[in-house]
Structure 1
């Protein structure tokens, strides 16, 4: 499958992300979108990222623009720096997908590109001439310290005092930033499993072996919590003292409550507990940060957004315990890591106790890899268009009470369970989300459904 735009950015096989293709998309972006005279370039820790970043930088300079090379850093840190300068950015990352793939994330001077910008970039492919003069190259090392200071200044040096927190480093581009932020807030840090090769970590679909590893670390090191991120650090992973994962669509409402948000924008796949928490309004979108951002911009006010993968977007200037927190309209990993831990510390309760006070709705999600996108779409279309086919597939479940086609197929049942099926937007994968009154039930529903999908699609 050739590289294409998915739920967040351009993705494809490394073998297909040639210099010519990367150059073409970079030029198209600069022709179709505002850039402020410069492009900030960052990269994750994949083996393929330096070569692709070099191609991006050359293309920017050959368009007569300044390229600001930030090297390796988290996606939200790059976005914070470029938006602060009023300039564009391109992040070289495949996020959580395997190392044989990579991609590009594009940022306008005011934040992530929208779907309309993606269409404009596609329309501009093949245009954009090489300038007579080569643009400047600036190497910048200040973005990561500024990103760390953003949270230390807002939460204060005592926010996590007394907590023992493990950091699963793997190949996360934020592994050092996490240690710096948590340590400067007073936490005792235990660094775990730093890798010298890329490890794809999907914070929304953590496999059983990884869960057991995290649980064992919590017990072995007597941790109050354990944290990590995906590859480019726009998605958090948070684990409580017992080794239980705190899902991203639980972290999101906790952060929103702490910051005093009034409007929540979140994809249709997110836990419905947020609807019971007393926010002014909850707006549901298709899956993908561009859709969440569009809803946030339309809503305005004290608005935040988050996804089930945990990425959190802040749409207003909020007050932290120790200082102000400026808006950041891109998915971020650090805020949904720091805020719940600081909240639990301030209340003198455990992270698990903080979560237990929320409405009792639980979700589970996972995926089947290697399913061709076309087969996934055909299967979803069959279930969507034929109620009899849908009833046959869900035979044995409670009666169907509702169908939501916002993104894929989301079916509600009379026993208050929910099953949501959709093809991945950026890889040949089939995803399943389940919701129920207990975590055990949600996990079982999700596993049973994926097994049925596997039997149908191989």
Structure 2
């Protein structure tokens, strides 16, 4: 008799946990049966709400992702479900195609975290799963038969990437980017085979840069010094109007202006929202206060960090406002309602997307730096301490909640302050400077965000705060 396994029991023993967006863990912990358990638990969590006979799967370029997809697909066959495999595509491309076809989907990706880790993102037929869905997955009592070691090869379907390209080709005219020279930093992004052709079809001159056969963990919230210098060098060499890139699974954009300076993701989101004439915004507490100071929106709701929290606000905002969107500090843009742009209807895509904010920005006649000067001049910076256990982060934050004065003195502040514990600890000084500490939801890291009216000061504030955090912890 074949071995019968319980999803919740297999998951509980796996050391894989849900973070701010998806389940993440070490590659070695994504065993065949763990992958099967997550896939089947996901279906058991949503099957009473939706009617479907097919599940879509896609992957990023990590070496481990294909095997995870194979296991998920094999497990779903035990439920007599069909599986369509879209191969390596950006997460928003998978989510968009699945939503149009009214089916759930699974994205195998660890996003920006190192390649020795991986992850799973789950989507209901109407968009990302909720935090309640996550709990239902973790506690699922669904039973399955242990999978064999040798799994069937998956048959590639290319229609998800084609549908994603059409979404944006149909929104803009063929000469929208005419006269612009754009670099695409491809590295190992899941969308690297899409972007160049798409930008060229919109009229741009495009040069591919930095393509890598090894996985590159690009973190759009903490751009490495090496990537900062690369952008400056590329801009100087090629005289680009902009450089475009994404994180590993193509849902977080990274854009440099004509000078080779990378934009902060929340500033990109702010600009995109202004240009789309969005009425109401949901955005995490970590994002730049220029959002409110710009006076561009009728309502701004602040949330915990993570796309599920942003998406949860959309229903509330939609009760009062006709156009709703959200974005995160990492630049991922979530379109919460249908909008009209260029006289054309753009359907909602309530999951992080890298292409929409990039294309909206690049379609403008002004240089990117000129658009930035129109915003309230508030500067943010962020970085993290890697290999910093979550327990240490939480202990440090609890200590600072009781009294942050000693910590603030060590980083050079003697003034009064206010605290916000929506997510981690966000300290706002009477001068307006902000320092925000929180444990990463995806990896053992302590993240720090800072904001100031001076760019250099915000960067120094992050550096000082993390150095002091090491001594306190």
The bucket for the TM-score relative to the shorter chain is over 0.9
- Partner residue, 1:152: 169
Unaligned runs of 5+ in 2: 1-13, 147-151
- Partner residue, 1:175: 192
Q: Residue 406 of structure 2: which of 375, 387, 392 is its match?
A: 392
Q: Deviations over 1:294-328 (max 9, x none)?
A: 01122113100000000001112222226321110
Instruction: Give how far 1:258 is off.
Output: 1.1
Equivalent residues in 2 for 1:22-421, closer than 5 Å: 22-34=35-47, 36-124=52-140, 126-129=141-144, 139-278=156-295, 279-300=297-318, 301-321=322-342, 323-343=344-364, 345=365, 349-384=366-401, 386-387=402-403, 390-395=404-409, 396-421=412-437
Structure 1 residue ranges, 4+ long, deviating more than 3 angstroms after superposition: 128-131
Counterparts of 1:58 and 1:409, CA distance in 2: 43
- Partner residue, 2:8: none
Q: Deviations over 1:168-199 (max 9, x none)?
A: 00000111211122111111101101111101
Instruction: Give how far 1:451 is off.
Output: 1.3
Q: Give the TM-score of the pair, scaled to structure 2.
A: 0.92
Q: Deviations over 1:249-282 (max 9, x none)?
A: 0011111111111000000000010102220000
Instruction: Give how far 1:400 is off.
Output: 2.9
CA contact (8 A) 1:63 1:130 kept: no
Counterparts of 2:128 and 2:445, CA distance in 1: 24
CA RMSD after TM alignment = 1.8
Q: Give the TM-score of the pair, scaled to structure 1.
A: 0.95
Q: Secondary structure at the match of 1:261?
A: coil
CA contact (8 A) 1:302 1:316 kept: yes
Q: Secondary structure at the match of 1:12?
A: strand
CA contact (8 A) 1:49 1:102 kept: yes
Counterparts of 1:360 and 1:437, CA distance in 2: 6
Are the structure 2 counterparts of residues 239 and 398 from structure 1 closer, same or farther at C-alpha, using a change threshold of 3 Å?
farther
Counterparts of 2:326 and 2:273, CA distance in 1: 9
Counterparts of 1:244 and 1:99, CA distance in 2: 27
Q: Residue 441 of structure 2: which of 425, 440, 444 is its match?
A: 425
CA contact (8 A) 2:396 2:469 kept: no
1:16 is the counterpart of 2:29 = yes
Q: Secondary structure at the match of 1:121?
A: helix
Q: Secondary structure at the match of 2:337?
A: coil
Counterparts of 2:158 and 2:169, CA distance in 1: 19
Counterparts of 1:254 and 1:369, CA distance in 2: 31
Counterparts of 2:327 and 2:20, CA distance in 1: 14
Aligned residue pairs total 447
Instruction: Give how far 1:130 is off.
Output: 5.5
